[in-house]
């Protein structure tokens, strides 16, 4: 993704980079793709925000240069502490994905869902964080 601080975090109609990224695969078993910025840092997925869980810490990419600040992302910042999780923004390198206890995605239409593998390589699932947040979100409906 190009860096464009004036549009960072805003949902707008110019998502050509996301559309092009989504068209890079035809495999129906691939449900989402991760997007990096021009510096090689993790930004988001093609249609969702991304989170890395380590212990009680949840990290999500900073969106001060690009990306979309989704509604469910805002909900997570407000509600994750209720379950004892500290959610914060950070500059994240792709290598950190496999070091995390778990990785999950959020999208206001789809909800929260855990990542099982990235590029065919299994992702650790040693945290129940996503399931706990899913249960809390279900109580909000």
Could you give the CA distance from residue 114 to residue 107 in angstroms, rounded to a whole number?
12
Q: What distance in Å separates the CA atoms of residue 120 and residue 104, rounded to the nearest whole number?
A: 16
- Name the percent of the chain in helix, strand, coil, to the closest 5: 25, 30, 45
Distances (CA, A) of 102 to 105, 121, 140: 10, 13, 23
| Domains recognised in the chain with CATH numbers | 16-140 (3.20.10.10)
For the entire predicted model, the pTM comes to 0.82
112, two tokens: 């929260």
Is pLDDT at 5 greater than 50 in this prediction? yes
The model's pLDDT over 98-134, given as tens digits with 9 standing for 90+, comes to: 999 999 999 999 899 999 998 888 888 888 999 999 9
Look at residue 12 in the predicted model and tell me its pLDDT: 47
């Amino acid at each position: 993704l190009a860096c464009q601080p004036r549009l960072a975090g805003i949902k707008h109609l110019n998502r050509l980079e996301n559309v092009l990224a989504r068209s890079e695969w035809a495999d129906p078993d691939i449900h989402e793709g991760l997007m990096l910025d021009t510096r090689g840092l993790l930004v988001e997925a093609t249609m969702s925000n991304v989170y890395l869980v380590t212990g009680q810490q949840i990290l999500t990419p900073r969106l001060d240069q690009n990306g979309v600040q989704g509604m469910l992302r805002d909900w997570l910042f407000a509600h994750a502490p209720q379950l004892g999780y500290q959610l914060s923004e950070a500059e994240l390198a792709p290598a950190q994905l496999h070091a995390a206890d778990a990785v999950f995605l959020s999208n206001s239409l789809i909800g929260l869902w855990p990542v099982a593998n990235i590029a065919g390589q299994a992702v650790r699932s040693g945290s129940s964080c996503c399931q706990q947040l899913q249960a809390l979100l279900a109580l909000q409906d």
